[in-house]
């Protein structure tokens, strides 16, 4: 069993500009790549769990999310960092795209994305935590039986380092 850090994406790893799916508009939060590397170097799993209702709203496709996550993976590799798994929820209860119109267990504040990862990887919940920028992220963490920390900036590396020693 291994400790893990679950990162929300928009507002934690990258600037939240609303419905981000294009690499040209992507901007890392200060210290984000270094934070992921610190998690890797500490021997923790690094995961991303992100609501992506832009798919349900018809603003972009699931393939766009996957392409952005591939780009993020390649960019993180430049600093020797990696994400062990990405999970995203494309659903929304009021979706304009009928295929994605549902109240699911993966959309935060539900904990389905976290528990799905925990069923695929040997995660030690007692030593794991989530970093989010909204209270719904913290709720999802609590629902999965892990701690949640609210990130309000400015530097993710400093924030992560302060919790790795206690996490």
Q: Look up 8 and say whether it is catalytic.
A: yes
Pairing of strands 147-150, 129-132: parallel
Q: Look up 10 and say whether it is catalytic.
A: yes
Nearest to 166 by CA among 118, 125, 127: 127
Options 8, 84, 133, 137, the catalytic residue: 8
Could you give the count of Cα atoms lying within 13 Å of 104 in the half-sphere of its Cβ? 20
Joined together, the tokens standing for residue 128 give 């794991």
Options 10, 84, 133, 137, the catalytic residue: 10
Which residues fall within 8 angstroms of residue 158, CB to CB, at 6 or more apart?
Answer: 31
Nearest to 132 by CA among 114, 115, 117, 118: 114
- Classify residue 45 by burial, with Cβ atoms within 10 Å: 0-12, 13-18, 19+: buried
Active site positions, annotated: 8, 10
């Amino acid at each position: 069993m291994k400790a893990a850090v679950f990162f929300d994406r928009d507002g934690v790893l990258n600037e939240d500009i609303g419905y981000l799916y294009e690499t040209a508009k992507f901007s890392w939060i200060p210290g984000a790549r270094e934070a992921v590397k610190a998690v890797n170097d500490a021997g923790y799993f690094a995961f991303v769990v992100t609501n992506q209702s832009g798919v349900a709203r018809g603003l972009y496709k699931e393939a766009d999310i996957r392409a952005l996550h591939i780009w993020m993976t390649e960019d993180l590799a430049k600093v020797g960092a990696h994400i062990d798994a990405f999970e995203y929820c494309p659903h929304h209860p009021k979706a304009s795209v009928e295929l994605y119109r549902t109240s699911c267990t993966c959309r935060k504040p539900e904990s389905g994305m976290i528990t799905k990862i925990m069923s695929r990887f040997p995660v030690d919940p007692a030593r794991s935590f989530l970093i989010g920028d909204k209270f719904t992220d913290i709720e999802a963490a609590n629902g999965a039986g892990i701690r949640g920390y609210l990130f309000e900036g400015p530097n993710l590396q400093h924030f992560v380092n302060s919790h790795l020693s206690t996490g």
